[in-house]
Chains A and B, each alone.
Chain A
Amino acid sequence: MDAGDALLLARAQFGLNIAFHILFPSLSIALGWYLLYFRVKVALTANDPGWLATYRLWVKIFALTFAMGVVSGITMSFQFGTNWPGYMQKVGNIAGPLLGYEVLTAFFLEATFLGVMLFGMERVSTRVHIVSAAMVAIGTTLSAFWILALNSWMQTPAGQVMDGEALIAGDWLRVIFNPSFPYRFTHMLLASGLTASFLVAGLSAWRLLAAPQDAGALRTLRAGALVAALLAPVQVFVGDLHGLNTLEHQPAKIAAMEAIWQTRAGVPLVLFAVPNEATRRNDYAVEVPKMASLILRHDPNAEVQGLEHFAPDHPPVAPVFFAFRLMVGMGVLMLAFAWIGSWILRKRAPRWLLWAFAGMTFSGWIATLAGWLVTEIGRQPWLVTGILRTAAAAGRVPEAAIGASLAGYAFVYGAMLVAYVVVLTHLAREGAKP
């Protein structure tokens, strides 16, 4: 095998791990805040059995989700050095401290207070228990803060200086608050809010299909749908800002997302096409004239740089193009479901709507993974934009070892994911118990 195969294997393995891992934080970041809300409701209603049952059901789901995130996250801490030694050599002085701060400020906080939250309800005062729930929610959000600071820095590096062969941080504030960080962080938090809201609504709908009289499940269905209805339009707005920010700092990624091959004025928006890397044009294209220029430059006749401008240093077009459409499509679907659903749920909960929400339970996962593919593949061939190429960062672990462990991980992850979904739907069917 040649170096290309080894690089592909290393990327496939890391990609598999990180894709599996992100499923769980994308839920637990916002679910932590949901739980805090449920816990406060229990206290405000003087331990109302309904709210208590709701809290207890969701704390179980949260604990399971959190545990999946912890165990798949540990894997990552081992693979940074093994799969990407060149990464640590070149930018370790920046990536290392950011990861370190995540462990120090977030991991211990959330893991320790999770124990108190799960098992300590009868052992500590209501106030201390609520504070523990708040610490867990703050911990998961802080964790997202650091990891997105690092990810954003890799996309739009700032604040670093060269020191011999490696980079060091010249200004930590500029490293952390790099140009794309505010947009990416907000985008991710909102994505988590939507993913968790559809989970809450979807599992509650499952319960209502089995037990239509469950008042608690109807309450959480409404809450999930309403929060999603409020967050979805904000996400559209923030997503647009994020896109404009990407156009400024990573124009090649935008060109791939929109499959714009040539630089010209009045660029049409490609609704659907099959980007053809060989002929460098789109097959079967369905286009809206001048729309891309309007969206990207807010002017129908503005010029947009095409992929030809960046060749050969631009990402593979088809995966980025399709993943972006999948993300946007899923987002539009979620927005529609949340708005229509919330409107109908004010008065009644027809069975077709329950089925619809149950079917959308994991829709946030699809949108999140698609968005993640857009941003990570869209960064190629760079691992750190303009500084380090992905190919230069890969390691020299024998392909056989990566291949064998990749197969093992894939099997274990698959089994874990099935078990997770089965247990969640099972718990939801059983419903909340006081």
Chain B
Amino acid sequence: MIDLPLVFAVLMGAAILAYVVLDGYDLGVGMLMPAASPGEQDVMVASIGPFWDANETWLVLGVGILLIAFPAAHGYILGALYLPVAAMLTGLMLRGVAFELRVKALGWHAELWNWLFWFGSFLASFAQGYMLGRYLTAFQPGLGYMFFSLLVGAALCGGYVLLGATWLILRTEGALQAKARAWTKWGLAWVALGVALVSLATPLASEIVRDKWFDFPRTLGLMVLPLATLAAWLWVWRSAGKSEWQPFAGAVAIFVLAFAGLAYSVFPYVVIGWLTIWQAASHPSALKVVLAGALLVLPFLVGYTVFAYRVFRGKAKAGLYGH
């Protein structure tokens, strides 16, 4: 008998990780907009144009699995995060619409949509980080926890900027690429600060997390994660000036490792200290039918996603809709 809640926890984790990496780079590109010239902004937008719709779909899948597989946790978590969720959704809406309208508007409207695209990207990113902070501290009230969550919000913005900048190294050339290489180092500095602070603060903020990490001799084995993160960080730093694909690969590696660390902190809870994945799971009949569908559909999904990325490989050009 397979452990269905565990399978769905893994699927949900994979969907959320895919979302964070994929929408992360396009949110990051959005946040970098004010640092570029108008001509460069068009190239930046073109570099994410074919992908952002599908990237955001991973969020729907992640939240969808939470809803389908762990409905009690969905209501509890999103109820506790009601306002930051509303802020994130507002940000995603603003940027999605601004993305379409900035190329179709004229005059001052174009400026307005550009600004909204930046603001929406920032608001969504910050709200996601804030939500992560609240989640990790089990939604406890208090100024300290609030401050911690704001910190995670800022750190995630830094992480997304890093993903966006390294994506631009991969997808652009010339002066913009040179700028992106400089942005990468800023992003790295921000991420280092953020990850270090979060890594130190999370065990302080949550007893359950502390017990999992500081349990000798297991702690020694767990040190692989921070060390590997450090190695990935150095890899991005060293390759940022010369390679095209290595910085992005390294940035993704940082996210995967950080995600693994968080997953280890939280598992087997879906709401820390209150609900485990087995307590929150739906009826097996519902899980089975969704799993069957997912196994059937996922190969196609991966297939046509790879196809789309292959169609748009190479450098992005300004000008939309194939002109």
Give the interface of A toward B (CB within 8 A).
56, 59-60, 63-64, 66-68, 70-75, 77-78, 80-82, 85, 88-89, 92-94, 96-97, 99-101, 103-105, 107-109, 111-116, 118-124, 135, 163, 166, 168-169, 172, 395-398, 401-402, 404-405, 408-409, 412, 416, 419-420, 423, 426-427
Chain B residues closer than 8 Å to A74, beta-carbon distance: 56, 59-60, 89, 92
Give the contacting residue for A108; candidates B57, B72, B97, B105; CB below 8 A: B57
Q: Are A97 and B290 in contact (CB-based, < 8 A)?
A: yes
Q: Are B96 and A67 in contact (CB-based, < 8 A)?
A: yes
Give the contacting residue for B74; candidates A81, A103, A402; CB below 8 A: A81
Q: Are B71 and A89 in contact (CB-based, < 8 A)?
A: yes
Chain B residues closer than 8 Å to A96, beta-carbon distance: 67-69, 71, 282, 286, 290
Chain B residues closer than 8 Å to A168, beta-carbon distance: 283, 285-286
Which of B60, B106, B301 neighbours the largest number of chain A CB atoms within 10 Å of its CB? B60
Q: Are B290 and A82 in contact (CB-based, < 8 A)?
A: no
Chain B residues closer than 8 Å to A101, beta-carbon distance: 290, 293
Asked whether B79 is an interface residue with its Cβ less than 8 Å from the other chain, the reply is yes
Chain A residues closer than 8 Å to B61, beta-carbon distance: 103-104, 107-108
Asked whether B49 is an interface residue with its Cβ less than 8 Å from the other chain, the reply is yes
Q: Are A116 and B289 in contact (CB-based, < 8 A)?
A: no
B23-71, CB < 8 A from A? 46, 49-51, 53-54, 56-57, 59-61, 63-69, 71
Interface residue stretch chosen among B134-142, B219-227, B231-239, B305-313: B305-313
B246, chain A: closest CB distance, angstroms? 25
Q: Are A108 and B301 in contact (CB-based, < 8 A)?
A: yes
Give the contacting residue for A123; candidates B85, B99, B283, B312; CB below 8 A: B312
Asked whether B192 is an interface residue with its Cβ less than 8 Å from the other chain, the reply is no
Asked whether B228 is an interface residue with its Cβ less than 8 Å from the other chain, the reply is no
Closest to B63 in A: A77
A410, chain B: closest CB distance, angstroms? 11
A36, chain B: closest CB distance, angstroms? 17
B54, chain A: closest CB distance, angstroms? 4
Chain B residues closer than 8 Å to A93, beta-carbon distance: 282-283, 285-286
Asked whether B86 is an interface residue with its Cβ less than 8 Å from the other chain, the reply is yes
**Could you list 19 further interchain pairs (A-B, Cβ under 8 angstroms) beyond the known A81-B66, A120-B312, A398-B82?**
A60-B321, A67-B97, A67-B99, A72-B93, A74-B92, A77-B64, A81-B67, A88-B67, A89-B72, A100-B294, A107-B57, A108-B61, A113-B308, A114-B53, A116-B307, A116-B308, A118-B322, A119-B312, A119-B322
Asked whether B297 is an interface residue with its Cβ less than 8 Å from the other chain, the reply is yes
Closest to A396 in B: B79
- How far, in angstroms, from A395 to B64 measured CA to CA in the complex? 18
Closest to B294 in A: A104
Closest to B61 in A: A103
A387, chain B: closest CB distance, angstroms? 16
A113-B304, A120-B312, A405-B83 are known contacts. Are A66 and B93 too (CB-CB below 8 A)? no
Asked whether B4 is an interface residue with its Cβ less than 8 Å from the other chain, the reply is no
Asked whether B251 is an interface residue with its Cβ less than 8 Å from the other chain, the reply is no
Asked whether B320 is an interface residue with its Cβ less than 8 Å from the other chain, the reply is yes
Q: How many residues of B contact A (CB 8 A)?
A: 61
A-B contact pairs, 15 of them (CB 8 A): A70-B57, A74-B92, A77-B63, A77-B64, A82-B75, A82-B79, A96-B68, A101-B293, A105-B293, A111-B57, A115-B53, A119-B321, A395-B79, A402-B82, A423-B104
Chain B residues closer than 8 Å to A420, beta-carbon distance: 97
Chain A residues closer than 8 Å to B93, beta-carbon distance: 71-72, 75, 412, 416
Q: Are A169 and B54 in contact (CB-based, < 8 A)?
A: no
A116, chain B: closest CB distance, angstroms? 6
Give the contacting residue for B90; candidates A103, A109, A412; CB below 8 A: A412
- How far, in angstroms, from A404 to B97 measured CA to CA in the complex? 22
- How far, in angstroms, from A89 to B72 measured CA to CA in the complex? 7
Asked whether B254 is an interface residue with its Cβ less than 8 Å from the other chain, the reply is no
- How far, in angstroms, from A412 to B116 measured CA to CA in the complex? 12
- How far, in angstroms, from A67 to B321 measured CA to CA in the complex? 15
Which 10 pairs of residues, A with B, have the shortest CB-CB distance? Answer: A115-B50, A96-B68, A81-B74, A85-B75, A88-B71, A93-B286, A121-B322, A405-B86, A111-B53, A71-B96
Q: Are A423 and B304 in contact (CB-based, < 8 A)?
A: no
Q: Are B304 and A92 in contact (CB-based, < 8 A)?
A: no
Q: Are A64 and B100 in contact (CB-based, < 8 A)?
A: yes
Q: Are A99 and B305 in contact (CB-based, < 8 A)?
A: no
- How far, in angstroms, from A100 to B69 measured CA to CA in the complex? 10
Chain B residues closer than 8 Å to A115, beta-carbon distance: 49-51, 53-54, 308, 312
Which of A56, A75, A398 neighbours the largest number of chain B CB atoms within 10 Å of its CB? A75
Asked whether B101 is an interface residue with its Cβ less than 8 Å from the other chain, the reply is yes
